[in-house]
């Protein structure tokens, strides 16, 4: 015990004063971040009379599931069954994510490990495009979708996700750093072709990176309202339907908070499960 | 005349030979690296059609008048001239965008860096929890929703209620209608949810630093954690800072969604009008696609220039 204590005190270049100072900054940051989150959770469990209490209370006093029950009832009343919206979003998330992971990994492997004439061009355009936001490209994107005839179909939401640039960038950097050339060389000597190498050697090693790509694309698709391209009611997504409920008036403040919580919980759970993999992937995310 | 034509012919022959040579070279490369191209292309074609092509289309459209009903008409630089000379609201939008980007960009970048650095030394369990906490607002993307309830303009809004109760104010503040408050509150809300990909990148980068560097540094005379941060840690994560800078610049210049959600659209006195919401106004409401595209091109130019400048300063840090 004593030894451990001594080691702690003698950490390289660390002072108690500095520790305290940083602890205070960290605590302030953590509280500032936590307040709205806790407020939101607390709000979702407040009964109606507590929502309109004066002065407003931060914490819920008599927690209730009524808001969630109401949400469920409201969902049941909607013209298109809620399960339909849920299925739509599920379809988007699954197809979008799977396609993105497969296509981005396929492309990342040669961009990381092969030499060919157009490689710098093909990769640098992706790096440059990290600076494009969807608002900048929204109008031409719509025109292109209209031209291909994908407006009001799921292709308009799913296919562009497959080509997201951040995913490819992270995957490529991870492959560069994590897969030694000797390994690939050894496989080639053994007579494996590039497709086999990609599927049997590269893919299993870069698992942390595809879990990261999964989070990024789930995060985006799970909150996709689809309002840019989708007009048919039965093709609308869960976030769209839920946001409609929030706008349903002041009496739905509690239900609104419940909706917010439902939309938050899925990406958070996925992130919690894969956090260490994400950090591992991000350790190679530097841009040289 | 004869010799000129002759030399022209020679020139053309030379050029066509060169083209043939280059195309043979290209074809050979494609043939030789067939598998590489086959693997890249499915992704890249989709990427090109939905990410690069739209930008190219926007650049072309920005020189036209286009209302989506009639075919685009070439108008030259007219859209750009109008933007900078005639459109007062655009100038407000530029000012707001820059105020917004100059405040949120650097603060968010350094907050990501500082918090990641502080978290880095904690025990793994605490580190994992704090990472989740700080990343949660960006992860969920529901920030504006909570802030609207908290800063609601009625006496039942949480902040208003507390201020009223304590007697600091006598009537509720219209946080999202009063131009005095729109920007500060929005900035606070955006900062709250801005610890995103760059934050994760810094955490990853810091985790990846070789611990023996610190011992070596101590031997070389580094005496406290601030020197250690400046001389060892930061130079090690310059690549991550480059990546983080791109993500942060994009995020802070393209701010619009949160502002629209918070302050409404259009906002009082254009107090929350940014370049992107100006673009949406012309693109989604007035259907002046040429003009909207010109706005997009200007925004993109701002982002690229800022990124180049930041990149230059960051690469100095490495030495």
Note whether A95 and A13 are same-domain residues.
no
Note whether B111 and B39 are same-domain residues.
no
Note whether A195 and A80 are same-domain residues.
yes
In a domain, A37, yes or no: yes
**CATH value at residue A195:** 1.10.3720.10
Distance spanning both ends of chain B, measured CA to CA: 61
- Chain A: give the shortest CA distance to residue B95, in Å: 18
pLDDT at residue A11 in the model: 66
Note whether B216 and B145 are same-domain residues.
yes
- pLDDT beyond 60 at A8: no
Instruction: Give the residue from B40, B198, B227 with the most A CB atoms within 10 Å of its CB, the best one to mutate.
Output: B40
Please judge whether B162 and A33 are an interchain contact, meaning their C-beta atoms are less than 8 angstroms apart: no
Whether the CB of B307 is below 8 Å from some CB of chain A: the reply is yes
Element (H, E) at B78: helix B78-81
Contact residues, B window 74-103, toward A, CB-based 8 Å cutoff: none
pLDDT in tens, A176-226: 999 999 999 999 999 989 899 999 999 999 999 989 999 999 988 988 888
Q: Which are the contacts of A274, defined by CB distance < 8 A and separation ≥ 6?
A: A211, A212, A214, A215
The Cα B125–Cα B107 span in angstroms is 27
Mean pLDDT, all residues of chain A: 86
Note whether B130 and B242 are same-domain residues.
yes
The Cα B134–Cα A31 span in angstroms is 10
With both helix axes pointing from N to C terminus, report the angle between B88-120 and B289-317 in degrees, rounded to the nearest 10: 40
Note whether B35 and B13 are same-domain residues.
yes
Instruction: Give the residue from B51, B58, B66, B226 with the most A CB atoms within 10 Å of its CB, the best one to mutate.
Output: B51
**CATH value at residue B280:** 1.10.3720.10
In three-state secondary structure terms, B99 is helix
Is this prediction's ipTM beyond 0.90? no
Which range among B27-31, B132-136, B144-148 has the greatest average pLDDT?
B132-136
Note whether B232 and B199 are same-domain residues.
yes
Domain that holds residue B102: 83-317
Q: What is the mean pLDDT of residues B30-41?
A: 91
Note whether B209 and B284 are same-domain residues.
yes
Q: Please tell me which of the candidates B43, B192, B238 has its beta carbon nearest to residue A36.
A: B192
Number of Cβ pairs < 8 A linking chain A and chain B: 286
The Cα A93–Cα B79 span in angstroms is 39
Is the peptide bond preceding residue A55 cis, with omega within 30 degrees of 0? yes
- pLDDT beyond 80 at A75: no
Chain A CB contacts of B238 under 8 Å are 286
For A254, nearest residue in chain B (alpha carbons)? B149
Chain B CB contacts of A103 under 8 Å are 42-43, 46
Q: What is the mean pLDDT of residues A117-138?
A: 88
Chain B CB contacts of A260 under 8 Å are 142, 145-146
In a domain, A288, yes or no: no
Please judge whether A272 and B132 are an interchain contact, meaning their C-beta atoms are less than 8 angstroms apart: yes
Chain B CB contacts of A159 under 8 Å are 46, 50
Note whether B213 and B160 are same-domain residues.
yes
With both helix axes pointing from N to C terminus, report the angle between B88-120 and A16-44 in degrees, rounded to the nearest 10: 120
Contact B162, B78 (CB under 8 A): no
For A131, nearest residue in chain B (alpha carbons)? B250
Q: Please tell me which of the candidates A25, A122, A163 has its beta carbon nearest to residue B46.
A: A163
Domain termination residue (choose one: A63, A85, A113): A63
pLDDT at residue B182 in the model: 84
The Cα B16–Cα B10 span in angstroms is 10
Domain that holds residue A132: 72-282
- pLDDT beyond 60 at A228: yes
Note whether B26 and B165 are same-domain residues.
no
Note whether A118 and A29 are same-domain residues.
no
Note whether B216 and B309 are same-domain residues.
yes
- pLDDT beyond 70 at B2: no
Whether the CB of B262 is below 8 Å from some CB of chain A: the reply is no
pLDDT in tens, B43-52: 999 999 999 9
pLDDT at residue A9 in the model: 45
Confidence class for position A1, pLDDT limits 50, 70, 90: very low
Note whether A157 and A260 are same-domain residues.
yes
Note whether A53 and A157 are same-domain residues.
no
The Cα B90–Cα B71 span in angstroms is 26
DSSP secondary structure string, B20-53?
HHHHHHHHHHHHHTHHHHHHHHHHHHHHIIIIIH
Contact residues, B window 280-299, toward A, CB-based 8 Å cutoff: 280, 283, 289, 292-293, 296, 299
The rounded Cα B107 to chain-centroid distance in angstroms is 14
Note whether A141 and A261 are same-domain residues.
yes
Note whether A274 and A176 are same-domain residues.
yes
Note whether B130 and B269 are same-domain residues.
yes
Note whether A111 and A23 are same-domain residues.
no
- pLDDT beyond 70 at A92: yes
Note whether A157 and A200 are same-domain residues.
yes
Note whether A138 and A22 are same-domain residues.
no
Q: Which of B201, B182, B178, B180 has the alpha carbon at shortest distance from B108?
A: B201
pLDDT at residue A262 in the model: 83
Please judge whether B205 and A283 are an interchain contact, meaning their C-beta atoms are less than 8 angstroms apart: yes
Domain termination residue (choose one: A36, A63, A90): A63
Whether the CB of B196 is below 8 Å from some CB of chain A: the reply is no
Please judge whether B46 and A162 are an interchain contact, meaning their C-beta atoms are less than 8 angstroms apart: yes
Mean pLDDT, all residues of chain B: 87
Confidence class for position A252, pLDDT limits 50, 70, 90: low
Computed over its alpha carbons, how large is the radius of gyration of chain A?
Answer: 24
Provide the sign of the torsion angle of the four alpha carbons A99, A101, A102, A104, taken in this order.
Answer: positive
Number of domains in chain A: 2
Pull the structure tokens for residue A264: 């938050």
Note whether B167 and B217 are same-domain residues.
yes
The Cα B32–Cα B45 span in angstroms is 20
Note whether B230 and B250 are same-domain residues.
yes
Domain termination residue (choose one: B74, B108, B133): B74
The Cα B82–Cα B62 span in angstroms is 12
Length of chain A: 288
Contact residues, B window 36-75, toward A, CB-based 8 Å cutoff: 36-37, 39-44, 46-55, 57-58, 61
Provide the sign of the torsion angle of the four alpha carbons A48, A51, A57, A63, taken in this order.
Answer: positive
- Chain A: give the shortest CA distance to residue B258, in Å: 13
Q: What is the mean pLDDT of residues B142-146?
A: 74
Domain termination residue (choose one: A11, A46, A63): A63
Please judge whether A13 and B42 are an interchain contact, meaning their C-beta atoms are less than 8 angstroms apart: no
In a domain, A143, yes or no: yes
Instruction: Give the residue from A15, A33, A106 with the most B CB atoms within 10 Å of its CB, the best one to mutate.
Output: A33
pLDDT at residue B7 in the model: 65
Q: Please tell me which of the candidates B26, B204, B304 has its beta carbon nearest to residue A282.
A: B204
pLDDT in tens, B274-307: 888 888 888 888 888 999 999 999 998 988 898 8
- Candidate from B126-135, B161-170, B191-200 with smallest mean pLDDT: B161-170
Note whether A127 and A16 are same-domain residues.
no
DSSP state of B65: E
Note whether A27 and A163 are same-domain residues.
no
In a domain, A272, yes or no: yes
In a domain, A197, yes or no: yes
The Cα B279–Cα B276 span in angstroms is 5
Whether the CB of B155 is below 8 Å from some CB of chain A: the reply is yes
Number of domains in chain B: 2
- pLDDT beyond 70 at A251: no
Q: Which are the contacts of B169, defined by CB distance < 8 A and separation ≥ 6?
A: B160, B163
Helix %, strand %, coil % of chain A (to 5): 75, 0, 25
- pLDDT beyond 60 at A2: no
- Candidate from A123-127, B6-10, B101-105 with smallest mean pLDDT: B6-10
């Amino acid at each position: 015990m004593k030894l451990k204590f001594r080691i702690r005190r003698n950490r390289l270049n660390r002072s108690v004063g500095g520790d305290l100072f940083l602890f205070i900054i960290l605590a302030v940051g953590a509280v500032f971040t936590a307040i709205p989150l806790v407020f939101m959770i607390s709000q979702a469990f407040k009964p109606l009379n507590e929502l309109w209490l004066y002065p407003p209370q931060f914490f819920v006093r008599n927690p209730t599931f009524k808001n969630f029950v109401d949400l469920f009832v409201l969902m049941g009343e909607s013209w298109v069954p809620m399960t339909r919206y849920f299925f739509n979003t599920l379809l988007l998330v699954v197809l979008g994510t799977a396609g993105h992971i497969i296509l981005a990994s396929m492309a990342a492997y040669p961009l990381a490990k092969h030499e060919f004439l157009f490689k710098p061009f093909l990769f640098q355009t992706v790096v440059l495009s990290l600076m494009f936001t969807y608002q900048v490209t929204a109008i031409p994107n719509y025109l292109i979708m209209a031209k291909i005839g994908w407006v009001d179909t799921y292709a308009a939401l799913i296919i562009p996700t497959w080509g997201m640039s951040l995913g490819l960038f992270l995957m490529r950097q991870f492959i560069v750093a994590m897969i030694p050339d000797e390994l690939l060389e050894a496989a080639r000597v053994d007579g494996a072709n590039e497709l086999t190498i990609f599927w049997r050697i590269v893919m299993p090693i870069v698992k942390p990176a595809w879990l990261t790509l999964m989070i990024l694309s789930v995060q985006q698709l799970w909150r996709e309202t689809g309002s840019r391209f989708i007009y048919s009611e039965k093709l609308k997504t869960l976030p769209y339907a839920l946001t409609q409920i929030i706008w349903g008036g002041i009496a739905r403040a509690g239900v609104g908070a419940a909706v917010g919580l439902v939309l938050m919980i899925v990406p958070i759970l996925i992130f919690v499960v894969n956090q260490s993999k994400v950090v591992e992937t991000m350790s190679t995310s530097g841009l040289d | 005349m004869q010799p000129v034509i002759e030399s022209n012919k020679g020139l053309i022959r030379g050029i066509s030979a060169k083209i043939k040579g280059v195309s043979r070279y290209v074809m050979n490369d494609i043939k030789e690296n067939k598998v590489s191209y086959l693997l890249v292309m499915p992704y890249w074609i989709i990427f090109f059609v939905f990410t690069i092509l739209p930008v190219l289309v926007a650049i072309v459209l920005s020189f036209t008048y286009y209302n989506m009903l009639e075919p685009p008409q070439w108008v030259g630089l007219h859209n750009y001239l109008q933007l900078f000379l005639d459109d007062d609201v655009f100038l407000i939008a530029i000012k707001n965008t820059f105020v917004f980007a100059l405040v949120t960009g650097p603060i968010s970048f350094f907050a990501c860096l500082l918090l990641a650095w502080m978290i880095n030394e904690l025990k793994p369990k605490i580190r994992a929890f704090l990472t989740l906490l700080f990343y949660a607002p960006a992860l969920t993307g529901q920030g504006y929703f909570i802030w609207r309830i908290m800063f609601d303009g009625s006496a039942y809004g949480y902040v208003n209620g507390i201020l009223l109760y304590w007697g600091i104010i006598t009537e509720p503040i219209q946080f999202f209608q009063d131009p005095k408050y729109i920007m500060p509150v929005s900035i606070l809300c955006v900062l709250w949810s801005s610890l995103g990909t760059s934050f994760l990148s810094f955490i990853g980068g810091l985790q990846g630093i070789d611990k023996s560097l610190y011992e070596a540094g101590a031997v070389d005379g580094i005496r406290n954690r601030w020197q250690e941060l400046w001389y060892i840690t930061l130079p090690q994560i310059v690549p991550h800072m480059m990546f983080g800078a791109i993500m942060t610049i994009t995020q802070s210049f393209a701010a619009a969604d949160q502002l629209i959600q918070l302050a409404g659209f259009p906002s009082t006195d254009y107090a929350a009008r940014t370049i992107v919401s100006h673009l949406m106004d012309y693109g989604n409401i007035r259907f002046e696609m040429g003009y909207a595209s010109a706005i997009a091109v200007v925004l993109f130019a701002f982002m690229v220039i800022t990124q180049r400048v930041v990149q230059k300063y960051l690469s100095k840090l490495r030495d």
